[in-house]
Chain A
Amino acid sequence: MNILVLLKMVPDVVEELEVAGDGKSLDTSFLRTIINERDDHALEQAILLKERHGGKVTVVALDAPDIDDTLFATMAKGADRAVKITDAPEGMTTQMAAKLCGQVVAGLLPADLVLTGVQALDDLDGLSAALVAQQLNFPYIGVVTAVTAGGPTATVLKEFAGGVRGEFAVTLPAVLGVQAAEKPPRYVPVAKVRAVMKTNKIETVSAPGDAGAAQIEVRQLAKPVVSSHAEMLEGSPEEAAGKLVELLAQRGLL
């Protein structure tokens, strides 16, 4: 089966994020980007499906710092092709990015499945996958944690609150928003990535002209304001326990 995986880079929060001077964007001077965790799961799910059913996995991503390393790593893990979308406008909203990516994905069809992360650090609403599905006129199901393919439909597990899972049949081709792959994303040895860098190429596609206009404007980006603090109880365990009991009693909790 042919699977397209749409992935993107998000800010790596190992470095503390700083707001830029304009008060509306992130300071990029020390910013590093990393593959969106859910997209990494989408890739893993795609490779698991390829291992089970054969076929090809093509990864598609918007250009970003460090994207080449990430794309080579996806090929070292088992993706067959990697396509990078270059020259996209800066500061796109999720809707604009989805519109661009949707057009590129449409150009790479036919595919049985389009997999992408159900959410991203900068898309907690989980809009991307649904918007791409709408554009392709494919069915969409999100929060997917397992996929069984074969035949004209796929069976997917969708996660609900409280650990409840529902099983759904979805007609192919379809877009799936992946919450978690059936197994954690695999490790790829550095030597393998380096070998792929020598033998494989990343294809590039120029961003299609029309990303549409931003309908949402960022007014302000700000760090949370510290309003209160935690009180640390000092002393030996016995002393700290004594103080804790005293505090609870004072607040009428005992």
Chain B
Amino acid sequence: MPVIAEDMNEITLENLWNTPEGHRVLSCMQCGMCAGTCPYGEVMEYPPRRIIGMLKAGELDTVLRSQSLLTCVTCYACMNKCPRGIRLTEVLLPLVKEQTFIQLTDMPAELQKALENTDRYGNPLGESPRKRADWVKTSKVPVRILPTDRKPTDVLWFVECYTAYHPRGQDNCRATAKLFHALGVDFAILGHEEKCAGECARLTGETGLFDKLTDYTMKLLGKYKFNRLVTSGAHAYDTFVHEYRPRGFNHELDHTVSFFASRLDQLKPKLKKKLNYTVTYHDACALGRHNNMYDEPRKLLAAIPGVKLVEMEHNRENGICCGGGGGGMWLDTYYKAKGYERLSERRIKEAIATGANVLAVSCPYEVSRFEDALKTVGGNSNMIVRDVVELLAESLEE
């Protein structure tokens, strides 16, 4: 079960030592497991272990000036490995990151644009809010848009930004709609009223923007009657679980992967088309390490006729982040300029090494990240990248 951090908003760097979480940080024995497992541990001037040491020594300003936390992709690897159970990625690193963010003198341009876009247009891509549901016109099955048809719905599908706007994300949308339809699910979307759920704003350190977005979304969800929220966004799912719940969100909740996995008995007989793919699955950090959703995507993939599942060297809780979390999605140029390896490139090499011809993913950031990585370091590989829902929808076809 995921940890619901209900007391998280009460903790600040100033009062940290007076909280149970602060006491836990004090128990750090400087073993270095966190720094060792951190995908950018070797390039960070202050990896998590040193941050704790500096914090204890009252040297936090040095850490903030180093901007080390700009390199934190919030992959939960350090927290997952900490033998003392310090909630590094949930509590400590966001607090340090927020201060780093406030004190940033030169914000990396792409990150700034993404945040400004999210504030102004409700999506980091800077697309028109009015066009958020434009993809519906290309769907082969009907998709109900709640603001124009307000009757209650069983499933409220929170589509999220990259899914709604990115051309490859829209492939995910069409696949998801098709799967809902095949299962006879009563579903609807929020159309132009939906805005980013905000997780990346929070984990970038832009907590004011996150609060603005959560306030908006909580009010918006209150306008409609629905039983269950299903989202295509791995980060949106994560933030609904860990941040919206404590703010009063109390509906049933699923990521598309967990939703379809829970209906696999009904779905499996419909998966008739044989796909002759050898598939390796990349665990999204927000679903895997932070929400223990390791089996569901694998069960879905294994149910597709003709699919052979192979694992990468680092998988499940040891999976390597694609580099897109915590604002990393908009820091590729920054990382490259500093000479860091892009994590999506590190990961795609592992995927290729499995001999698989399909890399399956379940986070809308990952499709474009890995397709780009294939272009830069993929060599002659014939690997393709597909969301799990895309593969399921493909198998539905006769």
Which residues of A sit under 8 angstroms from B209, Cβ to Cβ? Answer: 189-190
Which residues of B sit under 8 angstroms from A189, Cβ to Cβ? Answer: 101-102, 206, 208-209
Q: Which single member of A16, A30, A184, A190 contacts B119 (CB below 8 Å)?
A: A190
Contact A15 B128 (CB under 8 A): yes
Determine how close the nearest CB of chain A comes to the CB of B132; give it in whole angstroms: 12
Contact A191 B107 (CB under 8 A): no
Q: Which single member of A15, A186, A190, A192 contacts B130 (CB below 8 Å)?
A: A15
Determine how close the nearest CB of chain A comes to the CB of B200; give it in whole angstroms: 14
Which residues of A sit under 8 angstroms from B115, Cβ to Cβ? Answer: 187
User: Size range of the interface on B?
Assistant: 20 to 34
Contact B101 A190 (CB under 8 A): no
Chain B 258-293 interface residues, beta-carbon cutoff 8 Å to A:
none
Contact of A187 with B212 at beta-carbon distance under 8 Å, contacts A14-B121, A15-B128, A16-B128 already known: no
Chain B 307-345 interface residues, beta-carbon cutoff 8 Å to A:
none
- The CB with the most chain B CB atoms within 10 A, among A15, A30, A187, is that of A187
How far is it, in angstroms, between the C-alpha of A14 and the C-alpha of B104 when the chains are bound? 28
How far is it, in angstroms, between the C-alpha of A190 and the C-alpha of B117 when the chains are bound? 12
In the complex, whether A194 has a CB less than 8 A from a CB of chain B is yes
Number of A interface residues at 8 Å Cβ cutoff, please give it: 15
Look across to chain A and name the residue whose beta carbon is closest to the beta carbon of B118: A190
Which residues of B sit under 8 angstroms from A192, Cβ to Cβ? Answer: 208
Which residues of B sit under 8 angstroms from A183, Cβ to Cβ? Answer: 106
Contact flags B210-224 to A (C-beta < 8 A → 1, else 0): 011000000000000
Chain B 64-104 interface residues, beta-carbon cutoff 8 Å to A:
101-102, 104
Chain A 19-41 interface residues, beta-carbon cutoff 8 Å to B:
30, 34
Chain B 205-254 interface residues, beta-carbon cutoff 8 Å to A:
206-209, 211-212
Contact A190 B212 (CB under 8 A): yes
Look across to chain A and name the residue whose beta carbon is closest to the beta carbon of B109: A184
Contact B112 A14 (CB under 8 A): no
Chain B 112-133 interface residues, beta-carbon cutoff 8 Å to A:
112, 115-116, 119-121, 126-128, 130
Contact of A187 with B127 at beta-carbon distance under 8 Å, contacts A14-B121, A192-B208, A194-B208 already known: no
Q: Which single member of B116, B120, B130, B207 contacts A187 (CB below 8 Å)?
A: B116
How far is it, in angstroms, between the C-alpha of A189 and the C-alpha of B104 when the chains are bound? 11
Look across to chain A and name the residue whose beta carbon is closest to the beta carbon of B121: A14
Determine how close the nearest CB of chain A comes to the CB of B96; give it in whole angstroms: 16
Determine how close the nearest CB of chain A comes to the CB of B342; give it in whole angstroms: 23
Look across to chain A and name the residue whose beta carbon is closest to the beta carbon of B126: A14
Which residues of A sit under 8 angstroms from B212, Cβ to Cβ? Answer: 190, 194
Which residues of A sit under 8 angstroms from B126, Cβ to Cβ? Answer: 14
Which residues of A sit under 8 angstroms from B119, Cβ to Cβ? Answer: 190
Contact B107 A190 (CB under 8 A): no
Contact B112 A187 (CB under 8 A): yes
Q: Which single member of A184, A191, A193 contacts B207 (CB below 8 Å)?
A: A191
Contact B102 A14 (CB under 8 A): no
Look across to chain A and name the residue whose beta carbon is closest to the beta carbon of B102: A189
How far is it, in angstroms, between the C-alpha of A193 and the C-alpha of B208 when the chains are bound? 9
How far is it, in angstroms, between the C-alpha of A118 and the C-alpha of B354 when the chains are bound? 57
Determine how close the nearest CB of chain A comes to the CB of B204; give it in whole angstroms: 10
A interface list, Cβ under 8 A from B: 14-16, 30, 34, 183-184, 186-187, 189-194
Contacts A34-B120, A184-B112 aside, 14 further interface pairs with beta carbons under 8 A come to A14-B127, A14-B128, A15-B128, A15-B130, A16-B128, A186-B107, A187-B104, A189-B102, A190-B206, A190-B208, A191-B208, A192-B208, A193-B208, A194-B208
In the assembled complex, 6 residue pairs joining A and B whose CB atoms fall closer than 8 Å, in A order, are A184-B109, A187-B112, A189-B206, A191-B207, A192-B208, A194-B212
B interface list, Cβ under 8 A from A: 101-102, 104, 106-107, 109, 112, 115-116, 119-121, 126-128, 130, 206-209, 211-212
Closest 7 CB pairs of A and B: A191-B208, A190-B208, A190-B209, A187-B107, A187-B112, A14-B128, A15-B128
